[in-house]
Structure 1
Amino acid sequence: MLGNEHKVCKLIKSLYGLKQAAKQWHQKFDEVVLSSGFHLNQSDKCVYRKFDSSGKGVIICLYVDDMLIFGIDQNQVDKTKKFLSSKFSMKDMGEADIILSIKIKCENKLTVITQSYYTEKILKKFNREDCSPVSTPIDLVKKLKPNTCKPVDQLEYSRAIDCLMYDMTSTRPDIAYAVGRLSKFTSNPSRQHWQAITRVLKYLKGTMNYGLSYIGYR
């Protein structure tokens, strides 16, 4: 504003969309949850747990303003939901089905997480939705060498690696070796590296329903 060029604004309350908003929100959530007896996971600062002497308890996983609440006792889960609803404006979405592009399926004591929908998006994004599937994610016979020429679609290559890494870390550890090798060439990819990326995508095409299974026991 004319005449006020040297003045600054003091932030009284964070607004959604500002850089400070995420930090302010997490700080507020942290204070509320910890004050009610929850403990912060030291390995992941967005995971909170609260268990009683009988072993019953609840775990809260926070991602920005989305929460996944679960436990071995439904009453404890319901109490936690009620407590959080009294502190924040919340909407209960019911039993978790899909969160962060990860599908959750529970049957008896078996929990399966997959990313078939996310994999379809990756294939479509890189125009590989009609590719022919292969049985392995990488060709161990061909040795990947550093590119000595001009990089080929370096930005797009970086995006492909990012997408594959999210798939890998969430539900697909079977592509970890291939993605790890290919990520070494992100700054200067060649056509050979792109061919290797395509092979990983072809492997995902044929194994779209692969995922991780967890068996609960007591």
Structure 2
Amino acid sequence: MSKVFVDQPPGYEQKGHETKVYRLKKALYGLKQAPRAWYSRIESYFIKEGFNKCPYEHTLFIKTAEGGKILIVCLYVDDLIYTGNDATMFEQFKKSMMVEFNMTDLGKMRYFLGIEVIQGSDGIFISQRKYAQEVLERFNMAQCNSVLNPVVPGFKLTKDEGGVEVNSTVYKQMVGSLIRYMERPTEAHLLAAKRAFRYVKGTIDLGIFYKKGGKDELIGYTDSDYAGDQDDRKSTSGYKQPVVTLSTTEAEFIAAASSACQVVWLRRILKSLNQEQYSPTLVYCDNVSTIKLSRNPVMHGRSKHIDIRFHFLRDLVKSEVLELVQCSTQEQIADVLTKPLKVDTFLKMRDLMGVCKFPGKLFATS
């Protein structure tokens, strides 16, 4: 830990040493060094208790025992969630934590980092109902009319330099820091943000249901919206791509390379959790040329200019870490995250992603 000095508190100055300062022996809450000091402290505790820190996710700690027993702990600052398959390991862990730290057991997880969790005998349902309701109330949109999709089909946002400016502070609060046009928002941008809120209003009861006994096979979908940004003509694949692409094949190839990074990371984490993927991870793509390019090492004229960092996708395909598989555009789930879709198509893709209403009576809580 670096050395930290603080002024003497007003009214408690040492006589004859008024110009001197204190050097801290421990990290205080609120200092920028405090999170690192806390993490080092709790990390040393986990290591002492026989946990292994996941090398691919440093807030994930895993402890195993004979007979396939496992205890998994996920750390977020001073909040912990844990799971596993052995009740004895649960109790030992709770008792040990309460002896070592001043902690409280809140019981079965129901709410964590804005996510509501309902656990039952058939599976786990997660949603953000409470958080969504709070956001709508904060911006006086709790009584707004709902819509079925967040963006009007075919609508493209631009800088709208000739548009009427709106309160940038309110706009920034609404959309957060990940959305564009923060420096000069106009009425068009504000209306687009409000439509997204209207979509949230109509989907406040939706979430994702993880059914017990489902497949443990990792799969993925990759897609891009070629030259979708109307200002700089960059393509979109979840986020805006870092370079301007010259063809749909190039845009899809870069999107697939980005997906491959996530595949590698997730496969490594699953292996740490004793859920190793022994076969190549299938990543579905609706662009035939991209699939051929991932398998063919020959540098064609249409692809030789693509940055070398994106070509590691070929190595992953060759080493059978993943495999690009063709799917039809009608089955491309990633479309819902890259471009505005018609209502019926949007709802179909959303259902395929596993988004649904709370199962209700079919879901026995425990």
The one of 114, 122, 146 equivalent to 2:159 is 146
What is the rounded CA distance, in whole Å, between the counterparts of 1:39 and 1:217 in structure 2?
A: 27
Equivalent position of 1:80 in the other structure:
93
What is the rounded CA distance, in whole Å, between the counterparts of 2:56 and 2:135 in structure 1?
A: 29
Structure 2: tracts of 5 or more residues without a match: 1-12, 215-366
The one of 11, 27, 31 equivalent to 2:40 is 27
Q: 1:99 to 1:142 in 2, by over 3 A?
A: same
Equivalent position of 1:196 in the other structure:
192
Q: How much has 1:189 moved relative to structure 2?
A: 1.7
What is the rounded CA distance, in whole Å, between the counterparts of 1:98 and 1:49 in structure 2?
A: 22
Q: 1:137 to 1:68 in 2, by over 3 A?
A: same
Structure number with higher helix proportion? 1
Equivalent position of 1:64 in the other structure:
77
Equivalent position of 2:60 in the other structure:
47
Any idea what the Cα deviations from partners look like across 1:33-59, whole Å, max 9, x if unmatched? 122221223343222111234322111
Q: How much has 1:123 moved relative to structure 2?
A: 0.3
The one of 186, 190, 202 equivalent to 1:206 is 202
What is the rounded CA distance, in whole Å, between the counterparts of 2:56 and 2:174 in structure 1?
A: 28
Over the aligned positions, Cα root-mean-square deviation in angstroms equals: 2.2
Runs of 4+ that moved beyond 3 A: 1-5
What is the rounded CA distance, in whole Å, between the counterparts of 2:52 and 2:108 in structure 1?
A: 24
Q: 1:151 to 1:37 in 2, by over 3 A?
A: farther
Q: Does 1:161 align with 2:172?
A: no
What is the rounded CA distance, in whole Å, between the counterparts of 2:84 and 2:30 in structure 1?
A: 32
SS at match of 2:90: helix
Equivalent position of 1:10 in the other structure:
23
Q: What letter is aligned with 1:113?
A: I
Higher Rg? 2
The one of 128, 136, 160 equivalent to 2:149 is 136
Q: How much has 1:4 moved relative to structure 2?
A: 4.4
Q: TM-score, normalised by structure 2?
A: 0.50
Any idea what the Cα deviations from partners look like across 1:78-136, whole Å, max 9, x if unmatched? 11111211211111111111122211101114111111000001101111111001000
What is the rounded CA distance, in whole Å, between the counterparts of 1:196 and 1:20 in structure 2?
A: 40
SS at match of 2:23: coil
Equivalent position of 2:182 in the other structure:
186
Q: Does 1:100 align with 2:113?
A: yes
Higher relative CO (Cα under 8 Å, sequence separation at least 6) belongs to 1
SS at match of 1:185: coil
Q: What letter is aligned with 1:210?
A: L
What is the rounded CA distance, in whole Å, between the counterparts of 2:69 and 2:108 in structure 1?
A: 19
SS at match of 1:54: helix
Q: What letter is aligned with 1:161?
A: V
What is the rounded CA distance, in whole Å, between the counterparts of 1:48 and 1:210 in structure 2?
A: 31
Q: TM-score, normalised by structure 1?
A: 0.82
What is the rounded CA distance, in whole Å, between the counterparts of 1:101 and 1:120 in structure 2?
A: 11
Q: How much has 1:194 moved relative to structure 2?
A: 0.8
Q: 1:152 to 1:44 in 2, by over 3 A?
A: farther
SS at match of 2:118: strand
Identity of aligned residues (%): 29
Q: What letter is aligned with 2:205?
A: N
What is the rounded CA distance, in whole Å, between the counterparts of 2:165 and 2:91 in structure 1?
A: 54
Q: What letter is aligned with 1:85?
A: M
Structure 1: tracts of 5 or more residues without a match: 166-179
What is the rounded CA distance, in whole Å, between the counterparts of 1:144 and 1:100 in structure 2?
A: 31
